[in-house]
Structure 1
């Protein structure tokens, strides 16, 4: 490793340490992930590129990946567990570092409707509480349907469902600029539409929570 590469690595590790020092307790894992990602990325970049540019590019990529996958979701998981137990709702960390809350159809909406059911309000109240407690976290709401009725019906229906979730969260104090939504109809099934049980699994809402950047 030449002198330029050594200096670049030192700069990267210093920046990572500074990032770690300015994180909140909730984001401790993000800071650690960012620092480790930067360090590993710097090493790989230097090995691949053999120069300062390669080192810095590797560090930037590593820091982004480390920050995304290192966020500490445990407090939010605990809050969301209040009204999701026994509903079939699943809460899982995704490869991109987001937290997915998947709520099944028997909790969310009646068949062919976009009106939020009472049990779903309780789940959404927990989501809103989590977002209020963690102002850097953003949410993407995705509405899904089964294949019954075709895209002409299902795409607008799934869009309306996502929109109604956003409106409800906004009524609970979540700013609109922290949320986005889309309806994908039946294009992303998680089970076979050939059975009633499979169709029920496909009629769902997914709330993807994204960690703050930077």
Structure 2
């Protein structure tokens, strides 16, 4: 199945969110503790909040797994350290364990893409190589790439660019040996800004690809 088809199915699946209720998990010292998806979003968002109303469930796509079953708590320490040591910290790529149990690799555009382009810069490739290694070594994991732009330009242009940038990331991971059925790309244009689009600094923050690694609840 091609990435474009999976992306389309992802959009269709978002419409199913009202039909399902979800629970995600996170790890604590004594083991796994169930928390509501809405609670995870309130504490700093995560994959559950990206896919729509974070109080509802959504399917990520055929063969990927269902958030209706929840995201499993996962020990990310080794993977997080490997990604950081691959050059992420020096490039400004933030690697964060999210409250819903996923691991977010926040990739700013200045180290990943030229303005208006979606070809990956070579400086980012060691970071993506480390993500690919983690996915290959841990076949239970899945990845979702979500692209964003700033508010400059038309919505249509931004939607296409954000999707192509997310697809560039998942395509690279696939070329490193990660099964395409474990990857999905989604473009979100200038929605969900993390900076002020009225300033150059804020717009720079908003131009990004957020790559989420997660383990489906079994």
C-alpha deviation, 1:133, in angstroms: 1.3
Structure with greater Cα Rg: 1
C-alpha deviation, 1:166, in angstroms: 1.1
Alignment match, 1:95: 99
Alignment of 1:35-50 (within 5 A): 37=34
Gaps of 5+ in 2: 1-26, 35-68
C-alpha separation in 2, matches of 1:137 and 1:115: 25
C-alpha separation in 1, matches of 2:194 and 2:103: 17
The answer as to 2:179 corresponding to 1:181 is no
Alignment match, 1:40: none
C-alpha deviation, 1:150, in angstroms: 2.0
SS at match of 1:169: helix
Alignment match, 2:20: none
C-alpha deviation, 1:143, in angstroms: 0.5
The answer as to 2:70 corresponding to 1:72 is no
The answer as to 2:166 corresponding to 1:168 is no
2:31 to 30, 33, 40: 33
Would you say how many aligned residue pairs link Structure 1 and Structure 2? 158
Alignment of 1:3-42 (within 5 A): 33-34=31-32, 37=34
C-alpha separation in 2, matches of 1:150 and 1:127: 32
Alignment match, 1:81: 84
Gaps of 5+ in 1: 1-28, 38-63
- RCO higher in structure (CA 8 A, sep ≥6): 2
Counting helix residues as a fraction of each chain, which structure ranks higher? 1
Runs of 4+ residues over 6 Å off in structure 1 = none
Q: Deviations over 1:183-203 (max 9, x none)?
A: 000011100011111111110
TM-score with structure 2 setting the length: 0.67
CA RMSD of aligned residues (A): 2.2
Alignment match, 1:134: 138
TM-score with structure 1 setting the length: 0.69
C-alpha deviation, 1:75, in angstroms: 0.9
